């Protein structure tokens, strides 16, 4: 039988958006390479043979590193519809305690690599698995995870919407994510109008202006104090492209980020 390291990157379950908002739980297994993640709380790092559960209703950013030119992963989506059907068949007590992190590290279980290997015969040439087989294999994975980590039931079977939380703490922790106002509102347990009203009362500014100012202020700090290049930081600060970042930076500080970097380089010489 082929080993897990020979699996090509693939997904099992419904398609999910690649945006920074995690809409559904998913299990992530790294077969080759490394993946780095950040969820506003902390950084996570998965090496080949490691795996984790990524929680829905969180903002998260992750990037891959190739090792010897290779990167392969297996992503198994545990969407709400599937989880509700599973819970009906397998009722479980729900623990009250829930971790805050988007990336939930899972201790090594020798059954998981064997499970990954068991998927291989069902892949077609495009790396997909028949839907009926996929649901059977997803149930198998979920049973393995809950046997080893029963506390995950409180995370996986919580189908409620995010509750109203501390807006100031949330925004100061998550302003670097390129999420819409609607996403920020949802994740803080508010309607769009309530979010904007509460935001104005708290920060005396609109969300859009505050986010731009906060990101640019951080960019200025990273360039002047950490000697980082504009091209290396703009994506991590929530800007979609370098030209938009450069335009906004010049409008705020009277010079482009690249010009500021050049001035700092001359000063340090």
Q: pLDDT per position in the chain (269 positions), as tens?
A: 334 445 567 788 887 766 789 999 999 999 999 999 999 888 999 999 999 999 999 999 989 999 999 999 999 999 999 999 999 998 877 776 566 789 999 999 999 999 999 998 887 766 678 777 899 999 999 999 999 999 899 999 999 999 999 999 999 999 999 999 999 999 999 999 999 999 999 999 999 999 999 999 999 999 999 999 999 999 999 998 999 999 999 999 999 999 998 887 776 65
CA 102, 105, 110, 111: dihedral to nearest 10 degrees?
A: -20
Beta bridge mates, 141: none
Residue 162 falls inside a structural domain:
no
Residue 9: which H helix or E strand, with range? none
Asked if 8 and 134 sit in the same domain, the reply is: yes
End-of-domain residue from the set 97, 123, 156: 156
Asked if 112 and 9 sit in the same domain, the reply is: yes
Residue 197 falls inside a structural domain:
yes
Q: Domain limits at 238? A: 167-268
Question: For the chain, how many structural domains are there in total?
Answer: 2
Alpha-carbon gap, residue 21 to 28, rounded angstroms: 16
Asked if 144 and 48 sit in the same domain, the reply is: yes
The encoded tokens of residue 146 equal: 């809950």
Give the global pTM: 0.86
The string of pLDDT tens digits covering residues 164-208 is 999 999 999 999 999 999 999 999 999 999 999 999 999 999 999
């Amino acid at each position: 039988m082929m080993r897990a390291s020979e699996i090509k990157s693939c997904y099992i379950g419904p398609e999910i958006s690649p945006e920074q908002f995690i809409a559904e739980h998913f299990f992530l297994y790294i077969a080759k390479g490394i993946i780095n993640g950040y969820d506003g709380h902390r950084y996570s790092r998965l090496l080949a043979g490691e795996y984790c559960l990524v929680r829905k209703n969180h903002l998260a950013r992750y990037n891959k590193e190739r090792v010897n030119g290779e990167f392969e992963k297996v992503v198994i989506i545990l969407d709400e519809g599937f989880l509700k059907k599973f819970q009906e068949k397998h009722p479980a007590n729900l623990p009250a305690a829930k971790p805050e992190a988007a990336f939930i590290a899972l201790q090594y279980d020798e059954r998981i690599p064997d499970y990954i290997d068991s998927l291989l015969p069902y892949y077609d040439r495009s790396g997909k698995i028949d839907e009926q087989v996929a649901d059977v294999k997803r149930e198998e994975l979920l049973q393995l995870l809950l046997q080893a980590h029963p506390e995950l039931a409180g995370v996986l079977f919580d189908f409620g919407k995010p509750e109203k939380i501390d807006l100031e703490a949330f925004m100061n922790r998550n302003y670097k994510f390129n999420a819409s106002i609607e996403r920020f509102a949802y994740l803080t347990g508010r309607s769009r109008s309530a979010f904007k009203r509460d935001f104005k009362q708290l920060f005396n500014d609109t969300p859009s202006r505050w986010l731009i100012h906060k990101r640019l202020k951080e960019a200025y700090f990273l360039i002047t104090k950490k000697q980082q290049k504009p091209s290396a930081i703009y994506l991590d600060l929530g800007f979609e492209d370098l030209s938009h970042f450069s335009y906004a930076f010049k409008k705020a500080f009277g010079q482009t980020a690249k010009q500021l970097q050049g001035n700092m380089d001359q000063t340090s010489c």
